[in-house]
């Protein structure tokens, strides 16, 4: 179930700094505008350099793929969660929730197809709040009938924490590099 992730092609702007980072002590003419963004598919946290004269807004979706880019000059690289601006951290919460809702089928597929990592651990146990008992119950329920929605999981698996919140917490665990396993992020 853990597969190789493709490169991001679209990102959502978290914060735009038209004059670069405030702590950058270089003269203004040497700084460039910077956008902090999250990749739409793999939740990669990225630092983007927009084309001259472009002014980006939070929640704006931009193309960052290999083809001609309209607003982004280049990708400066990945950034860690702790390096995000306060504005970006606040926006990140809303954007991740929105992406999980919009891509619900991707996460349902995970619940329906997740398998063992090794003899002692199942992929489902990587999700916060899900231990061996919940993992066993999820596998049992999906063998009877595959899950159709996150709400369906919530109804059929007793005492399970909210599946949407569990997925969001797992994305944050991966963004914080708290675990070597990657199931949702690139």
pLDDT of residue 4: 46
pLDDT of residue 1: 45
- Identify whether residues 24 and 59 lie together within a single domain: yes
DSSP notation for 54-117: ----TT-EEE-SSS--SSEEEEEEE--GGGS-HHHHHHHHHHHHHHHHHTHHHHHHHHHH--BS
Is the residue at 97 inside a domain? no
pLDDT of residue 7: 84
- Identify whether residues 27 and 79 lie together within a single domain: yes
Domain ranges, residue 74: 10-85
8, containing H or E segment: none
pTM: 0.89
- Identify whether residues 112 and 68 lie together within a single domain: no
Which of 30, 50, 85 represents a domain boundary (last residue)? 85
Is the residue at 96 inside a domain? no
pLDDT of residue 5: 56
Is the residue at 184 inside a domain? no
Is the residue at 93 inside a domain? no
- Identify whether residues 110 and 171 lie together within a single domain: yes
Q: How far apart are CA 135 and CA 11, in angstroms?
A: 32
pLDDT, averaged per 10 consecutive residues of the chain (186 residues), comes to 67 94 78 93 95 94 94 94 94 96 95 94 94 94 95 91 94 93 88
CATH code for position 21: 2.40.50.140
CATH code for position 139: 1.10.150.280
- Identify whether residues 132 and 78 lie together within a single domain: no
Is the residue at 94 inside a domain? no
Tally the domains of the chain: 2
Which of 56, 85, 114 represents a domain boundary (last residue)? 85
């Amino acid at each position: 179930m853990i597969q190789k992730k493709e490169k991001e092609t679209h990102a959502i702007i978290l914060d735009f700094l038209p004059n670069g980072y405030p702590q950058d002590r270089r003269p203004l003419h040497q700084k460039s505008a910077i956008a902090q963004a999250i990749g739409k598919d793999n939740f990669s946290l990225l630092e983007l350099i927009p084309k001259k004269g472009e002014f980006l807004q939070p929640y704006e979706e931009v193309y960052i793929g290999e083809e001609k880019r309209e607003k982004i000059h280049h990708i400066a690289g990945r950034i860690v969660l702790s390096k995000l601006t306060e504005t970006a951290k606040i926006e990140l919460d809303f954007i991740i929730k929105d992406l999980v809702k919009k891509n619900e089928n991707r996460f349902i597929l995970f619940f329906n197809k997740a398998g063992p990592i090794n003899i002692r651990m199942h992929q489902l146990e990587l999700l916060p709040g899900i231990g061996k008992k919940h993992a066993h119950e999820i596998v049992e329920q999906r063998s009877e009938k595959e899950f159709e929605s996150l709400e369906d999981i919530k109804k059929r698996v007793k005492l399970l924490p909210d599946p949407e919140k569990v997925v969001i917490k797992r994305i944050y665990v991966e963004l914080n590099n708290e675990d070597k396993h990657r199931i949702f992020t690139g």
